[in-house]
Amino acid sequence: MARTFEQLRAACNLIERFGKVKFSGSEISPDQMESIELLPARTRMEIPPEWKKSVLSILISVEKHCDCIGLKLATQAARDSRVELESGRIKTYSDASEAFGTLDKIIKLQLRENLFMIISPDRAAFYAKPQLFGEAVNKRFPGCQYDVEESGNCYAAGRGTACAFHLMRVMESALQEFGTALGIRLTNEKDWQNILNEINKAIKALPGKDGRAIALSQAAGHLYNVKVAWRNPTMHPKITYTLEEAADLISTVKAFMNELVQII
Over the stretch 108-126, which tens digit does the pLDDT of each residue have? 999 999 888 899 999 999 9
pLDDT at 1: 42
Q: What is the DSSP string of 77-96?
A: HHHHHHHHHHHTSS-BHHHH
What pLDDT is attached to residue 94? Answer: 84
- pLDDT in the model for residue 208: 64
Domain boundaries, the chain: 5-112, 121-260
d(CA 58, CA 28): 13
158-204 pLDDT, tens digit per residue, is 999 999 999 999 998 888 888 888 888 776 667 888 888 888 888 88
Higher pLDDT, 44 or 99: 99
